[in-house]
Amino acid sequence: MFALEKALARQAELDKELEALAATVPYRKPVGWLRCFRGIDTLSAMILVAEVIDFQRVRRPRELMAYLGLVPSEYSSGETQRRGALTKAGNSHARRVLVEAAWHDRHRPTIGRALASRSHGQPDEIVSHAWRAQQRLHRRYRHRVGHGKRTPVAVATIARELVGFIWAAMTRHESRRHAA
C-alpha cells in the first residue's frame, strides 16, 4: 500500500508540474486550443504540441496524418488498389494519444462540465470548431460500425479524421491571429 500511495503522490506532483509548464508562454495557447477537443486534456495536448512542434509547417492535413502513421497502407498493382492496415510509420506517442482521444467519440456529442471548463476563455472559433468535430466524428463512428467495421478499426478512422480537425484549428486560427 505504501508504494501505491507514494506512486500516486508522485503522479499528482508531476501533474502539477505539467499544468504549470502548460501555462507558460510557448504552450499556453496551443494547449488551450487542443483541450477544447473531446478526449484531449493537458497531458495529451502537451504530447501533441511537443511531438508535432509546429502545425504551420504541414501544408495539408494528409501530410500530418501520414507523419503520425494514421493513413492506410496500400498494395496496388495496375488497376487493382488494395488498402491495408495503418502504416504506423510515424510518431507513435502522438498516434497513441490521438487514438485514445478518438475513443471518446463513440459516445453521443455533448459538452460536459469538464469540457466546458477546459473550453472556457478559449476563442469562440476554436470552441465551435471542436463542437463540429465532436458531432462529425460521432456520426462517422456510428456509420463505420453500422457498416460492419470492428470498433478498433472505426476508432482508428476517427483518430485520422480528428487529426484533420486539429490541423485546421491550429493552422487557420494561428494564421488569422498573425494576420491581425
For residues 107 and 136, the answer to whether their CB atoms sit within 8 Å is: no
Q: What is the pLDDT of residue 82?
A: 73
The partner residues of 177 in beta bridges, in order of sequence, read: none
Taking 50 as the pLDDT cut, the residues of the chain under it are none
For residues 62 and 50, the answer to whether their CB atoms sit within 8 Å is: no
Cα of first residue to Cα of last residue in the chain, in angstroms, is 55
Q: What is the pLDDT of residue 177?
A: 53
Q: What is the pLDDT of residue 27?
A: 95
Give Cα 86 distance to the centre of its chain: 17
Q: What is the pLDDT of residue 178?
A: 52
Q: What is the pLDDT of residue 176?
A: 55
> Would you kindly state where each structural domain of the chain is located, as residue ranges?
26-73+83-179
For residues 101 and 140, the answer to whether their CB atoms sit within 8 Å is: no
